[in-house]
Amino acid sequence: MANGEKPKPKMEFTIIRDNPTAGHKGFGIGSISLENVSPIIIDVEEELAQIEIGALHARSKTERGVKFTPNREDSEGGKPYWLIWVAIDYKEEGPYFAGVTAAEMVVNREKRRGYKNLPEHVNLLDKALKRHVIVDKMDDRSKKVLAEFLQGENPELWERSTELQEALGISG
């Protein structure tokens, strides 16, 4: 873009409604409902955050065409990313960002290899769904990118998300 401007993503939070037991008499009991959760991927170097619904099934633009392993060495020299799970819930004042967790990823496009700890990604998705805020492993720059992105997406939800603001080191 001209003058070094970054394109502003035109996306909104997508709420996926999912009732795994609807009409199936017990089929799917114990399944995780992905209702009110959205994945955000932060490109650490570009300081860019965007919603990538494909990440719910490890099929985001960032992840496509890359073989992921739990060995960091396989993706040496790759680009760092954060996969953020954001769950929305409701309180008396209205909806808010209730569960937010951050999982690390590294993608080396040249080698077509990447690093991620899949069990950790799944556990952090579960923690977000259970309304936990876990962003302590994120670097300060990425926390700022996430805070600005969430503020821009929905200022009202952001204002009601005091636990998240504290965890990201943002006041008010």
Tokens of 67: 């073989």
Q: How many angstroms separate the Cα of 44 from the Cα of each of 18, 140, 156?
A: 31, 11, 26
pLDDT, averaged per 10 consecutive residues of the chain (172 residues), comes to: 57 47 48 73 96 87 93 93 95 94 96 94 94 96 96 94 93 58
The distance between the two most distant Cα atoms of the chain, rounded to a whole number of Å, is 58
3-class secondary-structure state, position 152: helix
Rounded CA separation 45/139 (Å)? 12
* Planar angle of CA 10, 14, 19, nearest 5 degrees: 170
